[in-house]
Amino acid sequence: MNILSIVEESDIAYKRVFSSMEQRAWGYLFVNEENPLHYDANHAHLSQAVIDQSEAKQIVAEVVDFFEPKGIFPRVYLYQPAKQQALLDELEKQGFKTESLPSPIQLWQGQLAETKPRADIEIEPVTTGNYEDCLLVESVPELGGREIREKAFAQEFAHPAFQHFLLRVNGEPASTLCLLLAGPIVRVENVATLPAFRGQGLIGHLIRHVQEQFLLSGGTQLWVCPINEQVEKVYSRYGFVTMDKIHFQHAYRGGKGILELR
């Protein structure tokens, strides 16, 4: 399985947890009308090359006609933009803005993250007993804020493909992280730290914990898709190596871009 297939397969598994998926000849439509501001839950997903201009026009019209009557801004995620010029041209004609989001793809090499022991840190799986504490951390703006994460987190928590972990400092919720189990693919997702606890290297402790859990479960490949080069460097310190970079394009007709939210 090539890198793009790993990313696309795990992306689809991730998004199906909190949205409905409709297959089309050219890709997929994801929608969740109860959480319309959640970009990953509401967009068209395309990875196959679209060469013909008339086909591109038909696809864009279909996407717009699907989302706009629902009161949702049409969005398109393009996984191979270099092969999608006809589609990009048509999106521009139809008033879509575009932004490029190069995504590093990293694979853990098996060496546990090195961290300094801290008696004030505790890491626990997320259950109904600490659900609200985990949601508090995951409601940071970088993950979309409370309004978006509250609905998505409820669906993720109830789904067996997700394993959430909460890190406390002196008993206070500070950081979270989850593992997405997409068949043979395991991916680190939804990493967050409350502002008051940032700069302490807490993510390293969480990563080491899930690396240990991953080994105990018999896993063979642990992946992560950092949102930018700065985060890529963080994971590199904890045993992850960049295998490739996926050139991902986000097209949207209304609302904010992903880079603006980050």
* pLDDT for the residue 1: 60
* pLDDT for the residue 80: 85
Whole-Å CA distances, 18 to 21, 62, 94, 152, 256: 10, 22, 28, 6, 21
* pLDDT for the residue 102: 80
Residues 233, 121, single domain; the answer is yes
Residue 45 parent element (H or E): strand 43-46
Q: pLDDT tens digits, residue range 59-112?
A: 999 999 999 999 999 999 998 888 899 999 999 999 999 999 888 999 999 999
- Look at residues 98, 52, 26 and name the one whose alpha carbon lies nearest to residue 249: 98
Residues 236, 252, single domain; the answer is no
Q: What is the mean pLDDT of residues 12-22?
A: 95
* pLDDT for the residue 78: 94
Q: What is the mean pLDDT of residues 199-206?
A: 96
**Residue 34: Cβ-neighbour burial (10 angstroms; 0-12, 13-18, 19+):** exposed
- Look at residues 204, 193, 195 and name the one whose alpha carbon lies nearest to residue 240: 204
Q: What is the mean pLDDT of residues 119-129?
A: 98
Residues 212, 86, single domain; the answer is no
Classified as helix, coil or strand, 246 is strand
Cα 152 to Cα 146: distance, rounded to the nearest angstrom: 10
Residues 43, 69, single domain; the answer is yes
Q: pLDDT tens digits, residue range 45-72?
A: 998 889 899 999 999 999 999 999 999 9
- Percent share of the chain, pLDDT over 70: 100
Residues 237, 252, single domain; the answer is no
- Look at residues 16, 192, 211 and name the one whose alpha carbon lies nearest to residue 107: 211
Q: Confirm if 170 and 120 have CB atoms less than 8 A apart.
A: yes
Q: Residue 118: is its pLDDT beyond 80?
A: yes
Residues 99, 177, single domain; the answer is no
Residues 220, 154, single domain; the answer is yes
The domain tally of the chain equals 2
Q: What is the mean pLDDT of residues 126-148?
A: 95
What angle, rounded to 10 degrees, do the helices at 145-157 and 3-18 form? 100
Residues 133, 162, single domain; the answer is yes
Residues 250, 238, single domain; the answer is no
Q: What is the mean pLDDT of residues 222-232?
A: 88
Residues 150, 124, single domain; the answer is yes
Residues 117, 177, single domain; the answer is yes
CATH of the domain at 180: 3.40.630.30
Q: Which domain, by its residues, includes 79?
A: 3-104+246-261
Q: Report residue 19 as tokens.
A: 């949205």
Residues 117, 68, single domain; the answer is no
Amino acid at 28: Y
CATH of the domain at 14: 3.40.630
Point out which residues pair with 107 in neighbouring strands.
223, 241
Q: pLDDT tens digits, residue range 150-178?
A: 999 999 999 999 999 999 999 999 999 99
Q: Report residue 204 as tokens.
A: 């390293």
pTM: 0.89
Cα 230 to Cα 235: distance, rounded to the nearest angstrom: 9
